[in-house]
């Protein structure tokens, strides 16, 4: 690989020298030899190519929108996600309009004013009115966008533990899995530090802190619908990122500190599963799986399982070899179902005494 790269670098360097010598030669040419200078025919071709390129770009954009729109996410399953999506949509629409106009004009002018023998360039020193217009419009639009973005950001990042009755859950990341720690009856998480990790205490909960006794550590994340959840995130080893795309949530999980994010889930797993968007999507996925299964069975392998939708918490920082598989199922359910589930989970205190009696 190194040898190959060295050869490429030497070759590119050679081409650069050759091109530079060519430019030098061209600059010394007298009128006598015009064979290397662009003539009207060359300029015509280049102008048309410029126009062709921007048309190709537009067609490619339209094609991508049509072909890949099934990769868009469905409506947000969290309260703040609606504001987030609106901000995203407004920003993208503005960017698209500006991009289509400016790129179109740029390439069209390159075509319209392509070189012609008899044409002479016209030189404007300056035009105050024109400069004022093309400065003030972007200033107003961008300032509006930035202020709107700041307001949305402040709303989304408002993690007030006293507001409402938020559920407090720790998300614990390690290579290569997640754990959730529920704060129990008192809704206060016990202190924890990776230095306390020992035996069954895999999250390093401080055994001397009474708040930690009723904490519940689970391998699935159950959330009651329509109740605000505050996530406190901790990493055991390297940088991870808690990514929950359906809830429009992502936060880095950084070793040595606690990061936070809060949201209110608004659609249960069941509601999302039975939405038109998901039913259609799952049908497509299962059609592809069926085709694949046929081939697998023919080759003597097992068929693929039928796919059914679930929310997942994913890791969105490449944190090592098994990063791709670092995920935890999220189940959004009714308050009653959630209460029934959490009741069944063992407390950290019980886990400790069970170990002691063993
Ligand atoms: Cu990770």
Q: Residue 282 C-alpha to ligand 1 middle, in angstroms? A: 27
Give tens-digit pLDDT for 251-266.
999 999 999 999 999 9
Residue 251 CA to ligand 1 center (angstroms) comes to 12
Q: What percent of the chain has pLDDT over 90?
A: 62
Q: Write the pLDDT tens digit of every residue in 188-239.
A: 888 888 888 887 888 888 888 888 888 888 999 999 999 999 999 999 999 9
Distance between Cα 312 and ligand 1 center (Å): 14
Question: Averaged over 30-36, what is the pLDDT?
Answer: 64
Give how far Cα 287 sits from Cα of 292, 293, 308, Å.
9, 10, 12
| Centre of ligand 1 from the C-alpha of residue 237, in Å | 9
pTM of the full structure: 0.79
Quote the ligand 1 centre to 201 CA distance (angstroms). Answer: 20
Owner of token pair 């939708």? 309
CA 155 / ligand 1 centre spacing (Å): 27
Map out the domains of the chain as residue ranges.
167-271+308-357
pLDDT at position 122 is 82
Q: Nearest 5°: phi and psi at 308?
A: -135, 145
Give the model's pLDDT for residue 341. Answer: 93
CA of 75 to the centre of ligand 1 (A): 26
CA of 236 to the centre of ligand 1 (A): 10
pLDDT category at 29 given cuts 50, 70, 90 is low
Residue 40 phi, psi dihedral angles, 5° rounding: -55, -35
Rounded distance from Cα 229 to ligand 1 centre (Å): 22
Domain covering 167-271+308-357, topology: Immunoglobulin-like (2.60.40)
Q: With a cut of 80, say whether residue 358 has pLDDT above it.
A: no
Tell which wins on pLDDT, 304 or 98: 98
Taking the CA atoms of the chain, what radius of gyration do you get in angstroms? 30
* Dist. CA 53 → ligand 1 center (Å): 41
Quote the pLDDT of residue 160: 83
* Short-list 147, 150, 151, CA closest to 139: 147
- Judged against a pLDDT cut of 80, whether residue 279 lies above it is answered with yes
Other Cβ atoms within 10 Å of 35 Cβ, number:
6
Element (H, E) at 197: none
Q: If you measure from the C-alpha of residue 215 to the centroid of ligand 1, how many angstroms do you get, rounded to a whole number?
A: 23
Residue 33 has pLDDT above 80, yes or no: no
Model confidence pLDDT, tens digit, residues 100-156: 999 999 999 999 988 888 888 888 888 899 999 989 999 999 999 999 999 999 999
Q: What mean pLDDT, rounded, does the chain reach?
A: 90
Determine the distance separating the centroid of ligand 1 and the alpha carbon of 176, expressed in angstroms.
6
Query: Under the phi-then-psi rule, with left for phi > 0, alpha for psi from -120 to 50, and beta for the rest, what region is 297?
Result: alpha
Tell me the pLDDT tens digit for each residue of 52-79: 999 999 999 999 999 888 788 899 999 9
Q: What is the pLDDT of residue 124?
A: 80
| Spacing, Cα 240 to ligand 1 middle (Å) | 4
Beta strand spans in 203-298 (E)? 216-218, 221-224, 229-235, 240-244, 249-253, 259-263
The CA 195 to ligand 1 mean position distance, Å, reads 20
Q: Report the alpha-carbon distance of residue 159 to residue 218 in Å, rounded.
A: 23
Q: Degrees (nearest 5) of the Cα angle 45, 48, 51?
A: 155
Q: How far is the CA of 239 from the centre of ligand 1 (A)?
A: 7
Strands 327-333 and 221-224: parallel
In the prediction, which pLDDT does 30 show? Answer: 65
Give residue for tokens 């044409």: 119
Q: Is the pLDDT of residue 34 over 70?
A: no
CA of 189 to the centre of ligand 1 (A): 23
Residue 9 has pLDDT above 70, yes or no: yes
Both tokens of 97, joined, read 């309009």
């Amino acid at each position: 690989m190194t040898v190959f790269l060295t050869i490429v670098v030497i070759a590119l360097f050679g081409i650069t020298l050759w091109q530079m010598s060519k430019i030098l030669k061209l600059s010394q040419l007298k009128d006598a030899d015009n064979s290397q200078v662009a003539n009207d025919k060359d300029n015509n071709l280049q102008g048309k190519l410029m126009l062709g390129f921007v048309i190709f770009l537009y067609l490619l954009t339209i094609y991508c929108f049509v072909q890949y729109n099934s990769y868009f996410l469905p409506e947000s399953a969290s309260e703040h996600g609606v504001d987030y999506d609106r901000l995203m949509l407004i920003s993208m629409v503005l960017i698209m309009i500006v991009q289509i106009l400016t790129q179109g004009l740029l390439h069209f002018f390159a075509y319209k004013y392509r070189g012609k023998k008899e044409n002479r360039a016209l030189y404007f020193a300056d035009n105050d009115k024109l400069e004022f217009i093309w400065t003030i419009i972007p200033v107003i639009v961008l300032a509006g966008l930035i202020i709107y973005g700041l307001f949305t950001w402040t709303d989304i990042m408002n993690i007030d533990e006293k507001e409402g009755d938020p559920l407090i859950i720790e998300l614990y990341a390690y290579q290569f899995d997640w754990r959730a720690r529920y704060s129990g009856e008192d809704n206060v998480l016990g202190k924890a530090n990776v230095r306390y990790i020992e035996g069954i205490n895999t999250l390093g909960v401080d055994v001397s802190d009474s708040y930690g006794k009723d904490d519940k550590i689970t391998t699935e994340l159950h959330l009651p619908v329509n109740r605000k959840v505050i996530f406190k995130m901790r990493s055991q080893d390297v940088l991870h990122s808690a990514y929950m795309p359906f809830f429009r949530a992502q936060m880095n999980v950084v070793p040595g500190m606690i990061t936070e994010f809060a949201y209110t889930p608004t659609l249960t797993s069941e509601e999302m599963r039975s939405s038109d968007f998901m039913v259609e999507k799952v049908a497509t996925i299962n059609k592809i799986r069926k085709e694949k299964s046929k081939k697998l069975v023919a080759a003597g392998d097992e068929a693929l399982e039928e796919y059914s939708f679930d929310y997942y918490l994913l890791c969105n920082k490449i944190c090592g070899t098994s990063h791709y598989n670092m995920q935890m199922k999220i189940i959004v359910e009714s308050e009653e179902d959630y209460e029934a589930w959490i009741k069944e989970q063992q407390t950290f205190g019980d886990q400790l005494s069970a170990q002691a009696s063993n």
